[in-house]
Amino acid sequence: GEYDIYINCADIAGNKANETAEFSIIVDTYPPQLLQVYTSPGILHIEMDEASTCEYDVSSSFLYGSGIQMTGVMTTGHTASIEGDTFHIMCSDSFGNIGSYEVYL
């Protein structure tokens, strides 16, 4: 939302100042969304709808923070070496929202 703060100050000499500070707060509760998946020789590429940091595992689901980090920290594009035919991927945005995805090659 949009907010205004009105500030009035006075010192001992009687000098006064009045200012208004305007700001907005953005609340994001949605995880990054997977937009595109493609491969090039030996590389998995994913594109997200917002800047994120992504991790993966090829053997099983995992907790975010314990996976193998993909390239690109807080970017929309990420890559990983192809190590199998199933990728369990988790991506976190700047608000800490985490999305979970499975990619089958």
pLDDT band at 26 (very low <50, low <70, confident <90, very high): confident
As a whole number, mean pLDDT of residues 74-95 equals: 97
**Can you give the CATH number for the domain in which 98 is found?**
2.60.40.10
Cα–Cα distance for residue pair 82/51, rounded to 1 Å: 22
Taking the model in full, what pTM does it have?
0.80
Cα–Cα distance for residue pair 50/60, rounded to 1 Å: 25
pLDDT(7) > 90: yes
Cα–Cα distance for residue pair 54/92, rounded to 1 Å: 6
Instruction: Name residue, tokens 């997977």.
Output: 34
**How many structural domains is the chain composed of?**
1
Cα–Cα distance for residue pair 104/87, rounded to 1 Å: 6
Quick check: is 69 in a domain? yes
Domain span at residue 47 reads 34-104
Quick check: is 7 in a domain? no
Q: Is 70 helix (H, G, I), strand (E, B) or coil?
A: coil
